[in-house]
A and B are shown apart, each in its own frame.
Chain A
Amino acid sequence: MNHSTLFRASAALFPPPHSTSSSRTNVTDNIAIDGRNVNFSITTRQGKVVPILRDCSLRIPSGQFWMLLGPNGCGKSTLLKILAGVLSPTNGSVYVKRPKSFVFQNPDHQVVMPTVEADVAFGLGKFNLTCGEVRSRVSKALDAVGMSDYIQRSVQTLSGGQKQRVAIAGALAEACKVLLLDELTTFLDENDQIGVIKAVRNSLDSSEEVTALWVTHRLEELEYADGAVYMENGEVVMQGDAASILDFIRVRQSAYIKQINS
């Protein structure tokens, strides 16, 4: 295990922020995502405060494909939603390069228009573009995810993997600098899983500026990543290059199995 590439996501490396605003302060230009001491908690009906995220700090360089790993319920999706701006942190600061796009776990929640072409173009509605520009962006985005033959297809007739690719194309068409992807392979079979992950990898390879943070709990997907962040119980335990994180998790797994067997 290459420990030199690993570091504990501790507060020492990430000094506490002076404010909780999303403005960038001491972050270098090659950092696409920077979260410092992010805390998030919810209050139950009984008035009890339940912490979901505790002092989560992470830093992801530009142009790389990173994964956010961890067991179910450890707070991966919550952290991603905070980075996307869907949720506000209780404490801590977050910086994410703009424009950013968020892709939901369930493609049926992401795809809002009835046909492929219209859905990919939906996100462009906020820009003032000509029809020609929109057409070109839609075509390029669909090409990047291998869906250019399905441009006029009804979304209903697509498989789960195809819908997921359409959702990714919608994010790519916006020419975003950061892609936040929430467990895209959850509902997919093995072929579609690889197809979707390769589509993301290819789109990153074709553009140096795009950074992607992919939430998953499948270790086999790590081989496509440049780096990874590992979370447990609402805390960022470790972050570093993909191979090291993989080794780290395997060591923990074997230790856990030994503990059970003993």
Chain B
Amino acid sequence: MNCTFPTVTFPAIPNLGTTACPKTLNTTSLKNPIPFLKPPNKIHPIKLKLIKISFRTRASVSDSNDGETGNWVKWIPTGAFSISADKVFRLISGATASPIYQFVSSPTTFLHSVDPRIKLVWLLALVVLPARSHIVMRFGLVIFLFFLSIWILPRHVWMDQLGRVSLLSGILFIMLGLGADGVAPLVQLRTPPPAMMGLPKLPASLGGYSYLIMKLGPLQFTRKGLSVASIAACLTFTVFQSASLCLTTTTPEQLAFALRWFMLPLTYIGVPVAEIVLTLMLSLRFITLVFDEVRNVALGIVSRRINWQHLTMMETIDIFVIYFRRIFKNIFIHADQISQAMIVRGFRGDSKTHKIYFLSESSFGMADIVSLLCLVGVTGAALLSDYYLV
């Protein structure tokens, strides 16, 4: 580090003597002490009292400094922390502006023409069924969703979606499968094994049943593990993938329309359905602006070409604080402008008097009938699977 002593400034202290120097300021500890306190020619005792002393000191040390003062500098991380900060900002600035799955208008598929209300019922079914049905049904639903995604979505979309969801579900499956019975014995049932109590060993199953499915060193994959892992992994897969499928084939207005349709009876008990629907629509618009803002501010910082390696940890943190403060400020400006635009466009603050038009056709067609029949079939199969599949 160079010895620069950039801002040792003592403004407006004319004819100030060394007697005015505070005792705490150790001038000898600096390597190149600049004679900033010149010996006075004349010291006027009364004048000295009136002078308001204002010290602003900044000091840095050089690598060649042998004095102990400079040792603290090496404890402040600079390089690695700053490089990772640079990476973080570059990652954010290069990220997609719409990380949440958005509507894909073309090619128009079978799912695009299904009524959004039916899609919502399907979503609910796909959340409940994996948890309440046989393992075969669970995996069946996963495979069904997998192939439906490939059939419905464009290649780049399904590859991206299925890749992420499969990875997440796979990790969950492995961790829970091996971890369910691999927990330390302290938290397990403390009953001693039969051999210790003088009981005969349990006879092996004639039907080939074995609680332990697989053993991997200290880890074991048991039937309990399989059950827990399959429920968690399948549920994760179906929840994420069905939501993705729904969002990519349904416009936000259609979703809002379906929600409003289901919530309409709640208006009788005073639920502000119109307000909820408007809020949902505004949020769906606003969320993309937030992501845009996060990305743009990061891009602004990256484009300044900051030499991160020269910054201390505190200075890097300071930039992050500035970054977050800027994001919030911009978001509030956006919110303010949007509310102004809403007023200019005729919104007077009452969701009941300002109608939200849902223009998408929602006639009940063949696609809806087929979809409903499939839903009934899948639900029936899931319910029966518990009885007939053992």
Using a CB–CB cutoff of 8 Å, the interface residues on chain A facing chain B are 84-86, 101-102, 104, 106, 108-115, 117-118, 121-126, 128-129, 131, 134-135, 138, 152-157, 170, 174
Contact = CB atoms under 8 A, between A and B. Distances in A.
Interface in B336-363: 337-338, 340-348, 353-360
A117 to B, nearest CB: 6
Given A109-B341, A125-B346, A115 B357 contact: no
28 contacts: A84-B344, A86-B343, A104-B340, A104-B341, A108-B292, A109-B340, A109-B341, A110-B341, A112-B338, A113-B282, A114-B288, A115-B251, A115-B252, A117-B360, A118-B252, A122-B345, A122-B356, A125-B354, A125-B355, A125-B356, A126-B354, A152-B251, A154-B251, A154-B252, A154-B288, A155-B285, A156-B98, A170-B345
A116 B75 CA distance: 55
Contacts of B288: 114, 154-156
Main secondary structure of the interface of A (DSSP, over half): helix
B357 A131 contact: yes
A174 B354 CA distance: 14
B102 A134 contact: no
B357 A126 contact: no
Given A152-B105, A153-B105, A156-B98, A108 B340 contact: no
A256 B337 CA distance: 37
B81 interface: no
A187 B103 CA distance: 26
A104 B342 CA distance: 11
Contact of A117 (B345, B348, B359): B359
A108 B334 contact: yes
A111 B356 CA distance: 14
Nearest to B348: A126
Interface in B77-123: 97-98, 102-103, 105
B252 A86 contact: no
Contact of B347 (A110, A111, A125): A125
A125 B285 contact: no
B80 to A, nearest CB: 36
A194 to B, nearest CB: 25
Nearest to B355: A125
A152 B251 CA distance: 7
B355 A104 contact: no
Nearest to A109: B337
B102 A108 contact: no
B103 A126 contact: no
Contacts of A111: 285
Which of B98, B253, B285, B348 has the most A CB atoms < 10 Å from its CB? B285
B103 A152 contact: yes
Contacts of A84: 344
B341 A112 contact: yes
A112 B282 contact: yes
B160 to A, nearest CB: 16
B128 interface: no
B111 to A, nearest CB: 14
A4 to B, nearest CB: 37
B152 interface: no
Contacts of A112: 282, 285, 338, 341-342, 345
Given A86-B340, A114-B284, A156 B346 contact: no
Given A109-B334, A109-B337, A114-B284, A156 B347 contact: no
Nearest to A121: B357
B102 A157 contact: yes
Contact of A106 (B251, B252, B337, B360): B337
